[in-house]
Amino acid sequence: MKQFLRNKSAVTGTIIVGILIITAIFADAIAPKDPYQMDIWESFRPPEGLRGEYILGTDDMGRDVLSRIIVGSRISLLVAIIATGVSLVFGVTLGAIAGYVGGITDAIIMRIMDLILAFPSILLAIAIVASLGPGVVNAMLAIAIVRIPAMVRVTRSMVLSLREEDFVAAAQALGLSHTRILFRHILVNCYAPILVVATLNMGTAITVEATLSFLGLGAQPPIISWGRMLALGREAIRTAPHITVFPGLAIVFTTLGFNLLGDGLRDISDPQLRGR
Amino acid sequence: MIRYIVRRLVQMIPLLLGISILVFLLVHLSPGDPVRMLLGEEATEEDVERLNAIYGFDLPLHIQYFRWLSNALRGNLGDSIRQGISVTTLLSERLGATLELAVVSVIIAVALGIPLGIIAAVRRGSLVDYFSMILALVGVSTPGFWLGLMLLTHVALKVDWLPMFGRDGSIFGGLWILITQMRVDVLLEGLRHVLLPAVSIGTGMMAIVTRLTRSSMLEVLGKDYIRTAKAKGLNNQVVVLKHALRNALLPVITIIGIQFGAMLGGAVVTETVFAWPGVGRLIVNAIRQRDFPIIQGGVLMMAVVFALVNLAVDISYALVNPRIRYD
């Protein structure tokens, strides 16, 4: 804990991620206006600052941009958590099996991972959603699939090195089942690097979700998402550039938070890397 | 060396086969019936069956795959459902634009990232170091397409010299004209158009290159042979640029290959923002129109280009680093 508090990246990242989580949970209470409320007479109002009625201005339908960003944080966080969770479960299981069992099972799992990595990941995510059909659930699935290989690789390499440790030999000598050794003894010892990859995956998931929604493949109306706000704002880029500025800043800010937290956790778990 | 290249080429075959199966299955996972979607609600059963027969959608899946693969190997990726034009023609007209965009992005990333990384490492803890690390963190966290939107509104709209959309001539063609006819206008025209989209895609990679160069340089600068070189009384610049940089750049070369995929992926979205006439924009438009042969062919082509680039990077890596060849 002391180490954590001394690490600037980890602390800054935690603060940003904390802000995101609080915003998402209390979105309805924080949002100054109803994010769905349209008022054509108020459309394309420029940002008015903290004293104004519309702090970050309004969009083409006269809806409050700030309120929409606040409520939009929900879908970003939700997609990031679920997609990362799914890739965590499948990635860790597959990686652990590959590392522990070895042989042909390992070869098959790793060749499938190579295949996923053979595609530019954003393109693969786009292609998966394009074939399954647009929507939040399919977007989550696509993001989870493209992030599985990173999880598999880190888990496998950890399991490979831990497999040779004395405590594993001892557990085997005691006659414990392989499943028990793998999940109760080996995996509990590799949570640190897995946590780092999962945190960094959260940041990627937010960016990929925004990209998919920007292309109209992610969240569908009436769900408010930052990517869709950018797509709508793009239509009015000459007259009202503020509509595209702020949702983008929200994406950068939250992704930055997860990246900082991931970097910080890596520094703490691997002191050799500190300051690099 | 030739043996190494042959071995890597042979290793490519199962990968390419896997890519083709995955691309083929992707489209066939699709819940909607493409023919019914194309013909619309009021199509009769006979119409649907007739078109199914034309496209071969009524055959068993594995037969469809082998048919598609053997055609693809002969350069026939089918015809666009909407436009009726051969997919190979559509793709080959646009591949150059996408490659140009990706290559210029990589050049920008490397040309800015490596020097920045070196300076940050040599002046560790200085203002430059601090600035470059912040830049690297923000760069990695910024989606390229949004950066593109920002460059459009805040740069292209204000600087007359930079156009907002499209492409005008190839910069490779422009380079050729410069060499043969001593005219720069074609090259400049091409550069003018490619600059902003390339910066939006390349910034993320630049961030990664800066960071990796810095950490790799820091590691090498701590090695004994660097201390020896300095102890010999060699000029600091010579030590950094000749002794350290050469070894520090090896991991950077590998990341360039991996990042090229990110450049191609980034191009898909950024091309849409800048109306860049490349493969990415073609794919995105095809998705909107559910034009499956184009999606299939486009994704296949991008994956194959990515695999070839990685092969080229591996080979050049083996050329620079002899240890690899004898593994």
Chain B contact for A211, CB < 8 A? Answer: yes
Same-domain pairing of B125 and B65: no
Chain B contact for A203, CB < 8 A? Answer: yes
Same-domain pairing of B6 and B133: no
Instruction: Return the residue of A nearest to B272 by Cα.
Output: A215
Same-domain pairing of B160 and B290: yes
Phi, psi of A158 (to 5 degrees): -65, -45
Chain B contact for A107, CB < 8 A? Answer: no
Which of A9, A110, A131, A211 to substitute to test the interface with B, most B CBs within 10 Å? A131
Cβ contact B141–A122 (<8 Å): no
Cα separation, B217 vs B211, in Å, equals 10
Same-domain pairing of B158 and B247: yes
Strand partners, B86: B79
In a domain, B78, yes or no: no
Say how many C-beta atoms besides its own lie within 10 A of residue B167's C-beta. Answer: 22
Computed from CA positions of residues A64, A65, A66, A67, in that sequence, does the dihedral angle turn out positive or negative? positive
Cβ contact B262–A252 (<8 Å): no
Phi, psi of B217 (to 5 degrees): -65, -40
Chain B contact for A214, CB < 8 A? Answer: yes
Same-domain pairing of B68 and B101: no
In a domain, B83, yes or no: no
Same-domain pairing of B64 and B97: no
Contact A146, A208 (CB under 8 A): yes
Q: Provide, as residue numbers in chain B, all residues whose Cβ is less than 8 Å from the Cβ of A111.
A: 14, 18
Q: Which of B23, B141, B215 sits opposite A256 (nearest CB)?
A: B141
Cα separation, B208 vs B210, in Å, equals 6
Within 8 A by CB and 6+ apart from A172, the residues are A181
Cα separation, B209 vs A58, in Å, equals 38
Which of A122, A148, A253, A260 to substitute to test the interface with B, most B CBs within 10 Å? A122
Contact B310, B257 (CB under 8 A): yes
CA atoms within 13 A on the CB side of B101: 35
In a domain, B79, yes or no: no
Eight-state DSSP code of residue A186: I
In a domain, B269, yes or no: yes
Name the pLDDT band for A77 (thresholds 50, 70, 90): very high
Whole-number pLDDT of residue B37: 66
Decide which of B73, B98, B125 is a domain's last residue.
B73
Q: What is the pTM of this model?
A: 0.90
Cα separation, A78 vs A137, in Å, equals 11
Cα separation, A56 vs A261, in Å, equals 28
Same-domain pairing of B60 and B94: no
Q: Provide, as residue numbers in chain B, all residues whose Cβ is less than 8 Å from the Cβ of A230.
A: 145-146, 149
Question: How many pairs of residues across A and B have Cβ atoms under 8 Å apart?
Answer: 129
Q: Provide block-wise average pLDDT over 10 residues at a time, chain B (327 residues).
A: 85 91 83 66 75 75 87 87 87 92 93 93 89 91 94 85 77 79 80 90 93 90 82 79 81 83 87 92 90 90 90 82 63
Q: Provide, as residue numbers in chain B, all residues whose Cβ is less than 8 Å from the Cβ of A123.
A: 264-265, 268, 283, 299, 302-303
Cβ contact A119–B302 (<8 Å): yes
Decide which of B40, B73, B106 is a domain's last residue.
B73
Same-domain pairing of B66 and B125: no
Same-domain pairing of B127 and B270: yes
Cα separation, A79 vs A258, in Å, equals 14
Residue with token string 């709209």? B157
Chain A contact for B30, CB < 8 A? Answer: yes
Within 8 A by CB and 6+ apart from B98, the residues are B264, B267, B271, B276, B278, B279, B280
Say how many C-beta atoms besides its own lie within 10 A of residue A151's C-beta. Answer: 25
Decide which of B46, B73, B100 is a domain's last residue.
B73
Phi, psi of B67 (to 5 degrees): -60, -50
The CATH number covering residue B307 comes to 1.10.3720.10
Chain A contact for B137, CB < 8 A? Answer: yes
* Whole-angstrom Cα Rg for chain A: 22
Q: Provide, as residue numbers in chain B, all residues whose Cβ is less than 8 Å from the Cβ of A133.
A: 30-32
Instruction: Return the residue of A nearest to B259 by Cα.
Output: A120
Cis peptide before B14 (omega within 30 of 0): no
Coil, helix or strand for A274?
coil
| Helical H segments across chain A, by residue range | 2-6, 8-25, 27-30, 65-101, 103-117, 121-132, 136-163, 166-173, 178-180, 191-214, 226-234, 242-269
Instruction: Return the residue of A nearest to B311 by Cα.
Output: A118
Q: How far is CA B278 from CA A111, A122, B96, B98, B102, in A?
A: 30, 16, 7, 5, 11
Whole-number pLDDT of residue A187: 85
Q: Provide, as residue numbers in chain A, all residues whose Cβ is less than 8 Å from the Cβ of B283.
A: 123, 126
Chain A contact for B133, CB < 8 A? Answer: no
Q: Tell me how many domains chain B contains.
A: 2
Which region holds residue A49: left if phi is over 0, alpha if psi is between -120 and 50, else beta? Answer: left
Chain A contact for B17, CB < 8 A? Answer: no
Distance of CA B42 to the CA centre of its chain: 42
Q: Which of B149, B268, B299 sits opposite A230 (nearest CB)?
A: B149
Q: Which of A123, A211, A275 sits opposite B264 (nearest CB)?
A: A123
The mean-pLDDT minimum among A36-40, A135-139, A208-212 falls in: A36-40
Whole-number pLDDT of residue B324: 62
Kindly tell me the burial class for residue B288, based on how many C-beta atoms sit within 10 Å of its own C-beta (0-12, 13-18, 19 or more).
Answer: exposed
In Å, how far is B113's CA from the nearest CA of chain A? 16
In a domain, B82, yes or no: no
Chain B contact for A229, CB < 8 A? Answer: no
Domain residues for the domain of B37 are: 2-73
Name the pLDDT band for A94 (thresholds 50, 70, 90): very high
Cβ contact A214–B157 (<8 Å): no
In a domain, B100, yes or no: yes
Whole-number pLDDT of residue B319: 79
User: What is the b/e burial string over B235-244, where b = at least 16 CB atoms within 10 angstroms of the residue's CB?
Assistant: eeeebbeebb
Same-domain pairing of B96 and B182: yes
Chain B from 166 to 205: CB within 8 A of any A CB:
none
Cα separation, B297 vs B92, in Å, equals 11
Same-domain pairing of B276 and B176: yes
In a domain, B28, yes or no: yes
Q: Provide, as residue numbers in chain B, all residues whose Cβ is less than 8 Å from the Cβ of A259.
A: 137, 140-141
Q: Which of A215, A237, A238 sits opposite B269 (nearest CB)?
A: A215
Q: Which of A119, A130, A214 sits opposite B269 (nearest CB)?
A: A214
CA-CA-CA-CA torsion for B267, B268, B271, B272, nearest 10 degrees?
Answer: -150
Cβ contact B269–A120 (<8 Å): no
In a domain, B240, yes or no: yes
Q: Which amino acid is at B218?
A: L
Compute the average pLDDT of residues A15-27: 93
Compute the average pLDDT of residues A94-117: 93
Cβ contact B15–A238 (<8 Å): no
Cβ contact A122–B265 (<8 Å): yes
Enter the ipTM.
0.91
Computed from CA positions of residues B196, B198, B202, B206, in that sequence, does the dihedral angle turn out positive or negative? negative
Same-domain pairing of B267 and B307: yes
In Å, how far is A270's CA from the nearest CA of chain B? 15
